[in-house]
Each structure stands twice: as C-alpha cells, then as structure tokens.
C-alpha cells in the first residue's frame, strides 16, 4: 500500500466492493438452511460497512450507498420499502457527525460507538415497526439480532484499518 495514500481513494474500492460483499453475505444467510433444527441468525451485515464508511471519510457517495443497501435489504427481507434505509442512515449520520471525536480513539471506544450504532439501528427499527403495525416485536428476537450484529465488529474494524489512511486529505 506504499504510495497509495498519495492518490484519491477510488470509490469502487472502499464503497463498491464492500457493498457487493454485504449483498452476497446477506443473500447467503437468507437461504432456507437449518443446522440441527436451528435456522441461521439474521445479522445486519450492512451495519458494520455503514459504520466504517462514516469513520473512514465523509463522502457524497456514502449516504447513497447506505440507502441502496437499505433498499436491497427491504426487497430481500420483505420489510416496508425504505425501512432499512432509514434504520441504517440514522447511525451513519450520527457517526459521521461524531467522526472528529472518534479519531485516534482506542479500540474499546470504537467498539462502544459501534454498539451504540447497532442499538440505534435496531431501536429505530423497533419504533418504526411499532408505528407501522401497532404491534411490538418480540424483544428476545430483537436481542438475538442485536447480538448477531455486534459480533460483526471485526469486519468494520478491518475496513476502517484498511482505508482510514488511504486518502491523505483525511488523515
């Protein structure tokens, strides 16, 4: 990666490829498979990517990609159109706004921010579902999805470490 920092970061590298990877992983986990009678969990693969995009650098394409990922999730999972787009954009915006606070923080602080972003996403989903259906989702299932998403933090960290210093203008 020597010398890579002198060039502007190509969008397809830090936005396009992770987006495709998220779509592939989400489709794989949406296959009707059971192991020992238990179905696969349904983590929000798009969240670590959205979190990392907000940390890496501000971008005009970033929010658009987050919205596209959200719309893709809506179509695949059968949620109301725009549901996941809103749920993912909210933590993206918060992390983007607090980006200066995140710079140079320890790994623990990053994890806390990531957990907060996950809580915000799922909390927004909970609230929107309640408003839409006038029915509260099962808290245990919500907790299960929350935990399945939390463990994806290493993917966010990997993306951040790879591209955080890739663009010299945002070091």
Partner 1 sequence: MSLRDNPLGELRVPLTWTAGIVFVVVLIASVAILLSDRREAFDTDEYGNPRTMTDKVLAPVGDALSTPGRLTGQGVEGIRGYFFAVSENRRLKAELDNARQWRDVAIALRDTNERYRQILGLKTDPPIPMATARIVTDSRGPFANSRLANVGREAGVRPGNPVMSENGLVGRVVGVTDGASRVLMLTDVASRTPVMIDRTNARAILTGDGGPNPKLDYLRGVNAVKSGDRVLTSGDGGVFPRGLPVGVAVKGLDGRWRVVLASDKAPVDYVRILLFEDFTQIVNRAALDKAQVPPPTPGASTLPPPAPPAPKAAAAPPAPKTATPPAGSAGAPPATAAATPAPKAPATKAPAPRPGAEPE
- Which residues bind to partner 1, rule: CB under 8 A? 27-28, 30-34, 37, 39, 42, 58-60, 62-64, 66-67, 70-71, 75-83, 85-86, 89-90, 92-93, 96-97, 125-126, 128-129, 132-133, 135-138, 140-142, 144-145
34, two tokens: 């059971």
Helix, strand, or coil here: 35?
strand
Measured from the CB atom, the residue of 116 and 137 that comes closer to partner 1 is: 137
Shortest Å, Cβ 130 to partner 1: 9
CA 100 to chain centre: 19
CA 45 to chain centre: 6
Shortest Å, Cβ 57 to partner 1: 8
Among positive and negative, which fits the CA dihedral 138, 143, 152, 98? positive
Phi, psi of 35 (to 5 degrees): -125, 120
Shortest Å, Cβ 108 to partner 1: 26
Measured from the CB atom, the residue of 6 and 140 that comes closer to partner 1 is: 140
Are 118 and 146 a contacting pair, CB within 8 Å?
A: yes
Residues β-bridged to residue 38: 35
Measured from the CB atom, the residue of 2 and 123 that comes closer to partner 1 is: 123
Measured from the CB atom, the residue of 17 and 30 that comes closer to partner 1 is: 30
Measured from the CB atom, the residue of 35 and 108 that comes closer to partner 1 is: 35
Shortest Å, Cβ 2 to partner 1: 25
Residues 6+ apart with CB under 8 A from 164: 55, 56
Shortest Å, Cβ 75 to partner 1: 4
């Amino acid at each position: 990666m020597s010398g890579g920092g002198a060039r502007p970061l190509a969008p397809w590298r830090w936005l396009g490829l992770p987006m495709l990877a998220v779509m592939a992983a989400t489709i794989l986990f949406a296959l009707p498979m059971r192991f020992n009678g238990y179905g696969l969990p349904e983590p929000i693969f798009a969240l670590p990517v959205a979190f990392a995009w907000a940390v890496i650098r501000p971008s005009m394409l970033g929010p658009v990609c987050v919205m596209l990922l959200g719309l893709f999730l809506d179509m695949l999972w059968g949620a109301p159109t725009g549901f996941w787009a809103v749920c993912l954009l909210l933590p993206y915006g918060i992390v983007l706004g607090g980006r200066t606070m995140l710079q140079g923080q320890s790994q623990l602080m990053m994890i806390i921010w990531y957990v907060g972003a996950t809580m915000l996403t799922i909390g927004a989903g909970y609230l929107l579902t309640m408003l839409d259906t006038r029915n509260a989702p099962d808290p245990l299932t919500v907790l299960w999805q929350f935990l399945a998403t939390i463990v994806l933090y290493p993917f966010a960290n990997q993306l951040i470490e790879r591209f955080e210093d890739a663009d010299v203008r945002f070091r």
